Amino acid sequence: MKVMSLIAAAVFAAALASHVHAQSLEPAPKGCYKDLMGKVSCPPLGGEVHVTLDGVAVCGKGKCVRDLFGKITCSAQPGGQVIQEISGQVRCAGSCEEASAANCQTL
């Protein structure tokens, strides 16, 4: 009887694993980022998603730029523009803020 319950548990686990694996093959929606674990991160409306040097998805409420050191700065205004001058100084519509995982929506 123990053998039958072990077989049933193994079949259930294999079916569950194949279902989870099939989900991870689907591409992320346009404008979103899907990490290696299958987590999908999307920016708010008018924003952008970027990936840090550590592989973490972060989002901005508006457009974003990455500096030479990997810092991602975004407009704090939804849909707001951002520019990086030749000197490296970043200017944003409204104000600037660092991109954050808290701004991302997960699917």
Q: What is the pLDDT along the chain (107 residues), one digit of tens a residue?
A: 443 443 433 333 343 343 344 455 788 889 999 998 999 999 999 999 999 999 999 999 999 999 989 999 999 999 999 999 999 899 999 999 999 999 999 98
pTM of the predicted structure, to 2 decimals: 0.73
Instruction: Count other C-beta atoms under 10 Å from residue 47's C-beta.
Output: 24
At position 25, the amino acid (one-letter code) is L
Locate the domains of the chain by residue range. 29-106
